[in-house]
Amino acid sequence: MNVLQVIFNSLNNKVKKMVAVKVSFIGYPAVGKSTLMKLLAGASPNLDYIPTMGLDFGSVKLGEHEIKLWDIGGQKQFEPLWNSFLQGSYLAVVVTDSTPQNVLQTKQIIDFILRKNSKCRVIAIANKQDMDGKMGAKTVEDVLRVPTYPIIAIEEHNKEKIRYILIKELLEATGNGEEENE
């Protein structure tokens, strides 16, 4: 049995009591939230920036479980919806483009989530690690103070990496699978 199979089996045992598993992607505009969702769904990333207007939904099958993916547009007018958007999420994936300015702004999102949604596990994706002027993932993690994973979302070979991150973090978020996230 390979490592992914062991992880899938573990996830299967942990989430049996859950009806649906919600994972929310949140971050400012043009950081790669929609690209990550496309990557998870197996679609080729679009290299042209198309802003998410409002909400976008998707799903991905991990083992025997359907994971519901939610993506909220990063524009300022959607910020008042963040609290409602995050309700029921087992995992909030906060995406940054790894630039110093965006990382500092992203810290505000994380602080908001931790204040309003204490049961929701929060991680960060330090996207665009191939860009000039980016901060390394460890530095981003030091600023954000949540588990942070480096990635380049437009590279299709990172599909398994992001799936692995999701599985690993959902296992952390669900603990023993007995507590319900409200």
pLDDT tens for 121-147 read 999 999 999 999 999 999 999 999 999
- Domain harbouring 101, CATH code: 3.40.50.300
Residue 122 lies in a domain: yes
Domain count across the chain: 1
How far apart (Å, rounded) are the C-alpha atoms in residues 54 and 72? 6
Return the biggest CA–CA distance within the chain.
48
Do 165 and 67 form a contact (C-beta atoms < 8 A)? no
Residue 16 lies in a domain: no
β-bridge pairing 121-126 and 148-150: parallel
DSSP 8-state class, residue 127:
-
pLDDT tens for 29-82 read 989 998 898 888 876 666 666 656 656 677 888 777 788 998 887 777 778 888
**The 148-150 sheet, strands edge to edge:** 55-62, 65-72, 21-26, 91-96, 121-126, 148-150
Residue 13 lies in a domain: no
| pLDDT tier for residue 4 given thresholds of 50, 70 and 90 | low
Residue ranges making up the domain that contains 163: 3-7+21-173
Residue 151 lies in a domain: yes
Residue 128 lies in a domain: yes
pLDDT of residue 16: 52
